[in-house]
């Protein structure tokens, strides 16, 4: 009896430890933004969580998946635009897991896979556009990249919610060329505005000349107004415009 009692007292702590380890391995607590993909003998069983999830150790395994949005930085890529301009483009991708089962079963390391796909898609989509479009139409390009990525990652259970182009870096020679182009555009606009002003002024002068031609007395009033302006400037020499009608009277005599 004493031997049996000593044997039981020896194995009791071991059995208790095994039970504790079993319970710790069986009990899993998932937060609100987490899900557990449960496998039974290597085969997919179901997605569990959030809350308390109990699994059978050694028979079942669970993979924890985070459902929160992940911000993925796309390394700077060398992109050649449709007009053969080389630029360096960097971007960020916002994504989240919408189907934990596909994210674990269909792809190995979905974050790395999405990162590699983002780099390829960035070069592919931007390469179809001109440099001016990259600089001026980023919102449309962001949407194009987002839709292309989302179509590819849908089979992985990943939703790409947004893509933002962070920076487009140009070479020094291209920056100087764009500056020269902008300066030439400003000069062109200035010349067009000046020409439009000259055209409007000539039209007004033509209208004034027609009115003065119809009323000879108006010409005399303009002469008097001109003399008033000249006299106000305190000039020592005054050039008096003599009407042609008056000269013609002297010529007849």
Q: Please check whether residue 60 lies inside any domain of the structure.
A: yes
Residue 184 has pLDDT above 90, yes or no: no
Higher pLDDT pick, 177 / 112 = 112
The DSSP call for residue 51 is E
Cα 152 to Cα 121, 129, 148, 207, 230: the distances in Å are 10, 21, 7, 68, 81
Angle at which helix 216-232 crosses helix 172-214, to 10 degrees, equals 120
Which residue range(s) make up the domain with 188?
176-235
**What CA–CA distances, in Å, run from 145 to 73, 78, 84, 204, 212?**
14, 16, 20, 55, 67
Same domain, 182 and 145: no
pTM: 0.66
C-alpha–C-alpha distance, residues 98 and 39, integer Å: 19
Domain of residue 88, CATH code:
3.30.479.30
Q: What is the DSSP letter of 109?
A: S
Overall domain count for the chain: 3
Task: State which of 4-18, 69-83, 164-178 shows the largest mean pLDDT.
Answer: 69-83
Q: What is the pLDDT of residues 215-249, one digit of tens each?
A: 666 666 666 666 666 666 565 565 555 555 555 54
* Domain closes at, from 138, 170, 202: 170
- Give the domain-ending residue among 126, 145, 170: 170
């Amino acid at each position: 009896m004493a031997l049996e009692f000593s044997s039981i007292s020896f194995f009791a702590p071991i059995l208790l430890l095994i039970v504790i380890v079993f319970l710790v391995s069986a009990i899993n607590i998932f937060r609100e933004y987490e899900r557990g993909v449960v496998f039974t003998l290597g085969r997919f069983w179901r997605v569990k969580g959030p809350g308390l999830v109990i699994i059978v150790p050694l028979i079942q395994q669970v993979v924890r998946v985070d459902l929160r949005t992940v911000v993925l930085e796309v390394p700077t890529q060398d992109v050649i635009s449709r007009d053969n301009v080389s630029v360096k483009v960097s971007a960020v991708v916002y994504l989240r897991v919408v189907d934990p089962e596909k994210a674990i079963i269909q792809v190995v390391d979905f974050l790395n896979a999405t990162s590699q796909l983002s780099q390829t898609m960035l070069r592919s989509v931007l390469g179809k556009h001109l440099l001016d479009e990259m600089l001026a139409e980023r919102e449309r390009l962001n949407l194009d990249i987002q839709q292309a990525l989302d179509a590819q990652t849908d089979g992985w259970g990943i939703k790409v919610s947004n893509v933002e182009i962070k920076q487009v870096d140009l070479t020094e020679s291209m920056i100087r060329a764009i500056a020269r182009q902008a300066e030439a555009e400003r000069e062109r606009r200035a010349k067009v505005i000046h020409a439009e002003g000259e055209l409007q002024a000539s039209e007004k002068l033509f209208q004034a000349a027609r009115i003065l031609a119809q009323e000879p007395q108006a010409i005399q009033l303009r002469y008097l107004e001109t003399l008033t302006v000249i006299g106000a400037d305190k000039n020592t020499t005054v050039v008096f415009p003599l009407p042609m009608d008056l000269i013609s009277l002297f010529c007849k005599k």
